[in-house]
Amino acid sequence: MLDTENGHAQAYRQNGFVAGLRVFSEQQVAELRQNIETLEAEQADGAGGHSLDQFFRVNGHVVIPLLADVARTPAILDAVEAVLGPNLLVWSVELFIKEPGSTKTVSWHQDITYWGMGETDDEVTAWIALSDVSELAGCMRFIPGSHAGGMAKHEDTFDNDNLLSRGQTIAGIDESKAVTGPLKPGEMSLHHGRCFHASGPNQSDDRRIGLAIRYVTPEVRDHAPGQDWALPVRGEAPAGGWSCIAGPRALFHPADLSLYDRILAGQATSLAAGAEQQVNLYTKGHSK
Ligand SMILES: O=C(O)CCC(=O)C(=O)O
């Protein structure tokens, strides 16, 4: 199980990422995958004018109880607390799925470029493998230490094979410095929002399923403009700054669907900032 000496936090601080942290047993992760795949089978049409694909990629924790519950898993929170401190909120939950033989990739990027949070260190992504995320299956690759610099220039490519919202890419990465982060089902990696990372196609014969949870602290909003929403999951809920949400009442509850629309409209200002084309991922009704 997790490294109780918090060696992972030290490695994270030094490299901007750490991989191979076990947070679910094989049986637990098989159940989780099954529950996700049941949703895909039974709720393919989505709800409230949004596709299931959109919920899976943007703020699924607002309307899907399963995703909010995963983000409250104690083993994940323990590992995140060692990095961010005792007061934790969930800003977003997303699924990154590459079908067997898929040519979909993720280009080199830094996460927080369009998140409207500035260059904060007070966020981390917990990325949990729900399948065997091997090198063959297109695991993530990271450039160690890249989080220590500032924000790099990203160019929008809008490449259809790119899973990122606008195919944003950092040019000129020295790939010889990249380190892979393969994960067995039930293992997790943590990465910093400024750490350069990417992933290749899925050349395996199973689906490659990753669940990314973006954790933040109350302090993130101290210097960020506008309004933003998050779900408190550990410690003290912030007294101000964040608009705190309670998590879904039930799958696709009408009140949560309205909240989802409000959050998406509010966040779209930063998430789609500066784009020369419509960023479909944040447009109501988007499907892959
Ligand atoms: O799933 C991937 O390959 C990339 C995920 C990613 O970029 C992220 O979680 O920040």
**Is ligand 1 within 6 A of the CB of residue 133?**
no
**For the chain, where are the E strands, in sequence order?**
17-22, 88-98, 106-109, 123-129, 140-142, 179-180, 187-191, 197-199, 208-216, 229-234, 243-244
pLDDT of the residue at 5: 57
CATH superfamily name and code, 7-273 = q2cbj1_9rhob like domain (2.60.120.620)
pLDDT tens per residue across span 220-276: 998 888 899 999 999 999 989 999 999 999 999 999 999 999 999 999 888 877 777
Integer CA distances (angstroms), 190 to 12, 64, 170, 197, 242, in order: 7, 23, 20, 12, 23
pLDDT of the residue at 2: 46
163 C-alpha vs ligand 1 centroid, how far in Å? 9
Whether 72 and 201 have beta carbons less than 8 Å apart is answered as no
pTM score: 0.95
**Is ligand 1 within 6 A of the CB of residue 108?**
no
Cα–Cα–Cα angle for 113, 116, 120, rounded to 5 degrees: 75
23 C-alpha vs ligand 1 centroid, how far in Å? 18
4 C-alpha vs ligand 1 centroid, how far in Å? 26
Q: Which of 163, 192, 204, 208 to mutate to test the pocket of ligand 1 (most atoms within 8 A of CB)?
A: 163
**Domain parsing of the chain, residue ranges:** 7-273
pLDDT of the residue at 54: 92
Q: Which of 108, 113, 117, 125 to mutate to test the pocket of ligand 1 (most atoms within 8 A of CB)?
A: 125
pLDDT of the residue at 1: 38
Mean pLDDT in residue range 193-207: 97
**Is ligand 1 within 6 A of the CB of residue 139?**
no
Mean pLDDT of the chain: 93
Task: Pick 279 or 231 by higher pLDDT.
Answer: 231
pLDDT tens per residue across span 6-34: 799 999 999 999 999 999 999 999 999 99
Whether 280 and 159 have beta carbons less than 8 Å apart is answered as no
239 C-alpha vs ligand 1 centroid, how far in Å? 31
pLDDT tens per residue across span 164-177: 877 888 989 999 99
pLDDT of the residue at 268: 85
**Is ligand 1 within 6 A of the CB of residue 96?**
yes
